[in-house]
Structure 1
């Protein structure tokens, strides 16, 4: 009984805080999504009208399109880059531990501060460098171009997220026995054959985790966009998270954006489940 009492005393405060600051606001948001609440004043129940309106809102559909485009590209790039770096850092090279620490530094920095720094670089430093070197592409501020601004957001997101994904891949590579590679060397397997036939299948569970977590995080992109473009130019880089924030807290659309948030939560869960199912099947086949 004493052990149960101690366990309860340790878990209960965390549970209460989680419920107050996470579960209760989420339930409250779901409740208000069925009303016409503006964030203040009186409100009435309107049923599923807010949900139907989301699918007819051109701005919301545009935000969904940008968010999916950004998340898919960033997820693929960050996983390819992280895996490449992890394999390099796992090799027997000098200053391996120092390099691991250096690659992890971007992850511990504030996303917003990093975004502001890159915003300054894209706006001032790179154009000046491009003009000095007479390179036309660098001479332009891509964040001011509706067709190219999303690329700047992807660059920053991938640069900062690579550290965490690399750490997970390093953990996966540490589970691979060196004797496996020794046997492959005896059989005359090349570097690509060893990676594709041995390394990748053995770290497939870590690849699955990285893909799911990275996709989920990029779908919820907010800080990078605020610091780099603010959703602009125009609404070219307006993500769903940014749209929900602005519409709900600045535009008097609290109930409407609550419905949007519920829909987006369902979308993220569905995408994560689909990813897990597909990638886990490939793990078994591999």
Structure 2
């Protein structure tokens, strides 16, 4: 017979006391508030509250100075659509400028990215050189290029006798338009290049090597593999360039000031003149609200289209 083993009394399992959920909840709330709170307060004070005040003033005839604020309803908006040819002209210029600037800036930025993604010894130096114009402020950059267009091109024209340098770059409507596009693209292409370079570095090189073994050409690699894989970068770059081109102000005012004869006046300059020079703050804010809606529609449609392309790719 096997000996019996006596065991002691069974001890109850030790149960850990749960930490009160209320304490954890308040701790997490305080932690989130400490990090998000200051940014949220600044966002409300700098963005939301001024936007709501501007929305209110767009329905008034306030001149921006006096304490009397007269409610006029939709009169400012009706006036924009029926009796403001200058605003319509500035909007057409800004839209045309946006399309040209977006295409040229992204083509140059993507071209720089492809160049610098190759095994070049000087690619780090070239990245700095290409990105450097984006660091220079818009007003300063505009005045530098104004000197180049007026003085520098005139000197080159006299020395080389080329008609390209003898053109009135900032004195004629057509050449002034392309002058602003050139300066904008020169400034912003380096910023787009950084985004495209980051996207290109995330492409799996094994896919490219396999495609080369199968006989794919460089153009096929670019259009069938590289571009579809970096479509999110195109979405970001298109969004940024569209919003920047629509809101152009500093380059425009330093290069041409909207001239000659308001032919190169952007919407931002028109709003600025209406509110702060003509002292029609109510009408100026109505234009800014309308402009905000237009830019929001353009950028939203662009993001929706490019996001759909990403899914298809």
Same fold at TM > 0.5: yes
* 138-147 or 211-220: bigger deviation: 138-147
Which of residues 238, 242, 247 is equivalent to 1:211?
A: 238
Return the match for 2:74 from 48, 51, 56: 48
Residue by residue over 1:177-205, the C-alpha shift from the partner in whole angstroms, topping out at 9 and shown as x without a partner, is 11011001101111101000000000011
Please tell me whether residue 225 in structure 1 is matched to residue 267 in structure 2: no
Aligned counterparts of 1:37 and 1:25: Cα–Cα separation in 2: 15
- The answer for the alignment partner of 1:279 in structure 2 is 306
CA RMSD of aligned residues (A): 1.1
1:2 to 27, 45, 51: 27
Runs of at least 5 residues in structure 2 that lack an aligned partner in the other structure? 1-25
Q: CA shift at 1:280, angstroms?
A: 1.6
Contact 1:143 1:228 in 2 (8 A): yes
Offset from partner CA, 1:147-188 (integer Å, 9 cap, x none): 211111000000000011000001110110110110011011
SS in 2 for 1:137: helix
Aligned to 1:186: 213
Question: 1:61 — aligned with what?
Answer: 88
- SS of 2:227's partner is helix
Decide whether the 8 Å contact of 1:34 with 1:46 is kept in 2. Answer: yes
Q: Is residue 2:287 matched to residue 1:257?
A: no
Give the 3-state SS of the residue equivalent to 2:163 in structure 1: coil
Measured in 2, the distance between the counterparts of 1:274 and 1:261 equals 20
Provide the rounded CA distance (Å) in 2 between the counterparts of 1:251 and 1:143.
Answer: 25
Q: Which residue of 2 aligns with 1:172?
A: 199
- Name 1:201's counterpart in structure 2: 228
Secondary structure of the structure 2 residue equivalent to 1:45:
coil
**Is contact 2:59-2:71 (8 Å) kept?**
yes
- 1:58-89 deviation line (CA, Å, top 9, x unaligned): 00000000000101100000111111110110
CA distances 1:215-250 after superposition (whole Å, capped 9, x unpaired): 111000001001101111110111001110111011
Q: d(CA) in 2 for partners of 1:17 and 1:218?
A: 26
User: Any conservation in 2 of the 1:127–1:141 contact (CA below 8 Å)?
Assistant: no
Query: 1:97 and 1:132 mapped to 2: Cα distance?
Result: 35
Runs of 4+ off more than 6 Å? none
Among 174, 192, 206, the residue aligned to 1:147: 174
Structure 1 residues not aligned, in runs of 5+: none
* Conserved? CA contact 1:107–1:163, under 8 Å: yes
Checking the alignment, whether the CA contact within 8 Å between 2:168 and 2:175 is kept in structure 1 is no
Residue in 1 that maps onto 2:42: 17
- Deviation at residue 9 of structure 1 after TM alignment: 2.5
SS at 2:299 equivalent: helix
Match of 2:155 in 1: 128
Q: 1:158 aligned to 174, 182, 185, which one? A: 185
